[in-house]
Chains A and B, each alone.
Chain A
Amino acid sequence: MPLDRRAGRFARCIQCTRHDRSLPVRSFSTTAPARLEVLDSQTPAEAAPPPPAATADTPNPNTKPRARDANTVSTPAAEGQLLRNQRTTPVGSRRRRAAIASTGSIPFSQLPYQCFQEARAFLQVDRQEKLEHIRMQRQRIENLKLRAVPPQDEWIKENRIRDMKHRLEETKIAADMNDPVVKRRFEDGEGDLNKPIYRLLADRQWRAYRRKVLVQRITTMNVIPDVLPAIEPIVSTTLTFAGKRVQHGDFVDSRVSELAPSMTIQPYDKGPRLYTIAVVNPDVPDVEKDGFGYRCHFLASNIEITPTSTKVLLHKLQSETQVVLPWLPAYGQMGAPYQRMSVFILEQPKTEDGAGFQRLDAAKTRAEEPRYSRREGFNLLSFVDRFALKPVGVDLFRTKWDEGTAGVMQRAGIQGWDVEFKRKRVEPLPYKRLATVRYR
């Protein structure tokens, strides 16, 4: 018999059939559905009317169990039916489901809580003020741009415009910052990253944890300062090999990294821009030097990224205009230590008028710049200085010798798949026994 669990201690009274139930039982909810449920439970003696016999002409409509909604079941029996018949679990707490069942659907911003509505009204007034400020600031920036200043004061005017624009951006964000709808939309991942408030919230979220992990991994693995002396990550990156995400610094099987990965590069400032991606291995063993050198495994430029279009498939890039060095699989030869494969995202400089971004001529680089079209001995710092790039993002994965490395190296035509590195034996110093009382 369905028992309304909300009834709690009084459930026994409703259940009890010893007493005459001439007085109607008052349920806790005053709306119809809950009351009906209580009334149903009140008369257990009455058997449910038997379902009409099914004939050939009229199929029995009552044999199909009633479809329950996962958002509105509130009694244990209904929940059981939902679980058994529809194989779905109820959503949210029982209290919430009962509330949803007994009221119509109210949008969140109109929920009838007095303090909440008053807070909302206050925030709306404040938002209107901020919108007015935004309009005024925009007008002032326009006026200032039109004002003629003597050439020696041009720098003052430029600084002022820059600061006013900065203040305008801050006001735009402040206008939306107190909105619970914006907050919920962002938390659900539905925020439009073309809008500054969502970009700021996403940036804040990245910096709170994932960026810290990235910087820690980069520093502990010594990617900085081995490849570049310093970097301040501004864009967040994710690396995916064969559909599987790779964490920063993970070991990747050589067969998995045989094919070029795909990346998601998420910038947090507005507008499109052109990026260059360089994959550099700083752990190439050099026997003569008894040390390590660099090798470039991938180099591509002129990749357009916006805050909303962030996906880059490295194997789909244009080989004439974008790719300078195509993907070389990561490999670590036997006996050599694990190889760090660092992925650097470099922002291309702006054009002279400041409107767009300069393009790097990939074909020209391949033809005329031998230093940057060779894989071995590729110096990323030199490359960054030559083309005035700005390092904005970094990622890292590692590779070492495993069962598939030999096959990968053979298929890629790399020499040395059968080479094993061994450590040079260091002759120990001759043992000289000192003949004093202390060294007995």
Chain B
Amino acid sequence: MIKAPSTSLLRAFSPLWRAESVPWVARGCIAQQVHFSTAEQRMARKKGMGPKTDMRITLIRYHLQHPLTPRPLRFSRTRALRHWTIHRAWRLYQNKLRLTRQLELERQYNSMNAACEALRLMDGDGLTQEERSKLGAEIEGSNDMGRLYRIAMKKDDGVRADAVGKGVPIEYARIQTETPPRDGWNSAWTR
């Protein structure tokens, strides 16, 4: 007995065979079948007869089956020049936006960098070495030079704006103020 050839490919590609898998909402488009020949099926066909095709379904099908490469447009000379002008203007505008954003980010980064550098050179009294020597205050007492800088650089501890690692979101932080002090209220203090 001759074994019938597998119909898997036919099933996959032939629209006639796909009718079973079509959902009930799209039954209307089964009637729009693809004929075997690519010649126009005009002969001996009565006008107005045959299934009424829905234009919306046709358009949806065409757009879903669209090839990746779009059809090339053909422009007249002035049309092409107008298109080119608009394209140049749009690219220029986008580049300006991008540069503005970039400069703003750069400005913010530089500002943060300068702030960290200032903290690094600052001791517990808020003076750099230069300022200390200028004011004549003692230099030896400044043993916590750059303490706040080191606290700011810690990534796995304490509050962070982006809260990575073991960091705590910055919203939980205490705003750094001069008063009240870190050591809190000393109830046992006497003169």
Q: Which residues on A are within 8 Å of B, measured CB to CB?
A: 92-93, 96, 108, 111, 113, 115-116, 118-120, 122-123, 126, 177-178, 180, 183-184
Contact = CB atoms under 8 A, between A and B. Distances in A.
A119 B86 contact: yes
Interface in B77-92: 77-78, 81-82, 84-86, 88-90, 92
Contacts of A180: 81-82, 84-85
A93 B75 CA distance: 11
Given A93-B76, A96-B76, A113 B82 contact: yes
Contacts of A120: 85, 89
A284 to B, nearest CB: 52
Nearest to B86: A119
B44 to A, nearest CB: 24
B109 to A, nearest CB: 26
Contact of A123 (B77, B81, B82, B92): B92
B93 A122 contact: yes
Contacts of A118: 89
Contacts of A116: 82, 85-86
Interface-central residue, A108, A115, A119, by most chain B CB under 10 Å: A119
B99 to A, nearest CB: 13
What DSSP secondary structure best describes chain A's contact surface? helix
B88 A123 contact: yes
A44 B137 CA distance: 113
Given A93-B76, A96-B76, A119 B89 contact: yes
Interface-central residue, B76, B77, B81, B84, by most chain A CB under 10 Å: B81
Contacts of B81: 108, 180, 183-184
Given A122-B89, A178-B92, 17 more contacts: A108-B78, A108-B81, A113-B82, A115-B86, A119-B89, A119-B90, A120-B89, A122-B92, A122-B93, A123-B89, A177-B88, A178-B85, A178-B88, A178-B89, A180-B81, A183-B81, A184-B77
Nearest to B78: A108
A178 B89 CA distance: 8
A123 B85 contact: yes
Contacts of B82: 111, 113, 116, 180
A116 B92 CA distance: 14
Contacts, number: 41
A301 B151 CA distance: 76
A113 B78 CA distance: 12
A180 B77 CA distance: 11
Nearest to B93: A122
Nearest to B89: A119
Nearest to B87: A119
A20 to B, nearest CB: 27
Contacts of A126: 92
Contacts of B85: 116, 119-120, 123, 178, 180
Contacts of B77: 184
A92 to B, nearest CB: 8
A116 B90 CA distance: 11
Given A119-B90, A123-B89, A183 B78 contact: no
Contacts of B92: 122-123, 126, 178
Contacts of A177: 88
Interface string B46-90: 000000000000000000000000000000111001101110111
Contacts of B90: 119
B77 to A, nearest CB: 8
Nearest to B91: A178
Contacts of A178: 85, 88-89, 92
B73 to A, nearest CB: 15
11 contacts: A93-B76, A96-B76, A111-B78, A115-B86, A116-B85, A122-B89, A122-B93, A126-B92, A178-B85, A180-B85, A183-B84
